[in-house]
Amino acid sequence: MSIPSPARPAGKRPAAILVGFMGAGKTTVGRILADRLDVDFIDTDVEIVRRTGRSIPDIFTEDGPDRFRLIERNVVADVLATHAGVVALGGGAVTTPAVREALAGHRVVHLRIGPEAGYARVSGTDRPLLASEDPAARYRELLAERADVYGSVATIEIDAHGDPEVVTDALVDALAKELIPERTR
């Protein structure tokens, strides 16, 4: 299945870019989707670690969140310009205005997750933004703060609560529907 991106000339454009809060399943669903489309998968968090040779918690702790967002923004810009497969963005990437601008015209999928299900998936992991006395409360607060921003960049909304294979089925259906107007143009 080949998926050209909307409103973009042919070339190296991601087939789909997954956004959503921590625990939405961007990496898991992204891998499955890339597999089904027979394209490569890139997770920008993994790319940040590869390029800097440092872990994300180390960058946050040693350099601070602003520096992390700057590195992230540059990595996202490079990946969007050069990668033709599926891309997963770190959950906070869309809080950077330049990232939101860079997403314009791309096929952007919001994997929507609620506070209980999402927190259950990330509880006990080393997400630096959840390093708090009450990580569950911090998760809920951040999710509420960002609730609108994911929708503002998305061209497709997918409920991400189910099994990742089933979530990917819904995503593949939505991608196919989104392509129908292009085919009839």
Please state the residue numbers annotated as binding site for Mg(2+): 27
| Cβ-based burial of 162 (10 A; exposed 0-12, middle 13-18, buried ≥19) | middle
Nearest residue to ligand S3P by CB is: 92
Q: How far is the CB of 122 from ligand S3P (least distance, A)?
A: 7
Site string for ligand S3P, 118-137 (x = CB under 6 A): ---------xxx--------
Altogether, the residues listed in the chain come to a count of 185
Figure out which of the listed residues 14, 90, 118, 164 binds ligand S3P, where binding follows CB under 6 A: 90
How many Å apart are CA 136 and CA 122, to the nearest integer? 10
Closest CB to ligand S3P among 90 and 164? 90
How many Å apart are CA 68 and CA 64, to the nearest integer? 7
Size of the site for ligand S3P (CB under 6 A): 10
Contacts to ligand S3P from residues 10-49, by CB under 6 A: 22, 26, 45
DSSP assignment of 9-31: -SSS--SEEEE-STTS-HHHHHH
172 residue type, one letter: V
Task: Enumerate binding residues for ligand S3P (CB under 6 A).
Answer: 22, 26, 45, 56, 90-92, 127-129
